[in-house]
């Protein structure tokens, strides 16, 4: 009974949660999914500034009667992203392929025999064994134990992923050593489906190309997300009740 009560309580809570989440879905029936408003990424809920180990700061010095500044990359002003709020283009190129195969086989056979010969076997066979069993009793093989076990396993992984696209990102933070924290978000709506891409990470200004672009392979602590939301994505997801049962059921 306690298990049934717990299952009933969990099911009731899942129905209530699904009903609360379905309220917004009912209000959006027949409407395309809304796009997110453009805003300051640092003002969004859950945003946390990046903290990483930094070298000791160095004092920038100017030589007398010289236009050259210590630490400058070029003589003229650099048009590439270098400060908070600047924009640069990220060339996202992901082509991953993994193929793994494993196979295991194990077997074991055991056989143990225990016999009681001589007078002890005769005493056991005549005095302690019931008459109806004596014809089948052999004191030389009083105990016979055999066991056999076998196990086989096989597994394989064959995965291939490829993403080729460009996205503009904004510099959200400049670290003390000059590295830049960037974040870019792109949303494209086609009919009733929204495709969303998010790119974030830490880059070096030296890796930014002359045309103010940088490859995704040069982003440290890269976080790249590509997905969608809408009617098609909603149909591909299991229902809330099925997700709850997948968590609760032990079999």
Question: Would you list the DSSP string of 42-86?
Answer: GGSTT--------PPP----B-TT--PBTT-S-SSPP-S--STT-
Please report the pLDDT score of residue 15 as a whole number: 60
Give the pLDDT confidence score for residue 89 in this predicted structure: 95
Q: Which domain holds residue 124?
A: 101-155
Residue 44: inside a domain? no
Does residue 182 fall inside a structural domain? no
Q: Which residues of 193-204 are buried (b: 16+ CB within 10 A; e: fewer)?
A: bbebbbbbbbbe
- Residue 193 counted as domain residue: no
Write the pLDDT tens digit of every residue in 149-185.
Answer: 887 888 887 878 788 889 999 999 999 999 999 999 9
Residue 195 inside a domain? The answer is no
Position 120 scores a pLDDT of 46
Q: Is residue 107 part of a domain?
A: yes
Q: Would 84 be classed as within a structural domain?
A: no
User: Domain tally for the chain?
Assistant: 2
Secondary structure letter of residue 88 according to DSSP: E
Structure-block tokens of residue 152: 């086989």
């Amino acid at each position: 009974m306690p298990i049934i009560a717990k299952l009933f309580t969990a099911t009731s809570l899942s129905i209530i949660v699904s009903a609360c989440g379905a309220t917004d879905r009912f209000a959006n029936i027949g409407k395309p999914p809304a796009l997110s408003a453009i805003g300051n990424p640092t003002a969004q809920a859950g945003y946390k500034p990046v903290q990483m180990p930094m070298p000791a700061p160095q004092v920038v010095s100017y030589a007398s009667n010289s236009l050259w500044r210590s630490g400058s990359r070029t003589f003229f002003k650099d048009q590439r992203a270098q400060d908070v709020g600047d924009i640069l283009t990220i060339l996202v190129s992901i082509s991953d392929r993994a193929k793994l195969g494993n196979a295991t086989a194990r077997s074991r056979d055991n056989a143990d025999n225990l016999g009681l010969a001589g007078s002890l076997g005769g005493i056991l066979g005549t005095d302690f064994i019931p008459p109806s069993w004596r014809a089948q009793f052999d004191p030389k093989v009083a105990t016979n134990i055999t066991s056999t076990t076998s196990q086989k396993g096989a597994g394989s992984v064959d995965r291939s992923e490829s993403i080729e696209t460009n996205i503009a990102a904004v510099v959200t933070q400049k670290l003390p050593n000059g590295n830049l924290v960037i974040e870019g978000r792109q949303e494209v709506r086609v009919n009733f489906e929204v495709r969303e891409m998010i790119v974030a990470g830490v880059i070096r200004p030296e890796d930014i190309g002359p045309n103010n672009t940088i490859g995704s392979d040069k982003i440290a602590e890269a976080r790249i997300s590509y997905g969608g939301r809408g009617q098609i994505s909603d149909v591909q997801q299991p229902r809330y009740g099925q997700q709850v049962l997948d968590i609760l059921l032990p079999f």
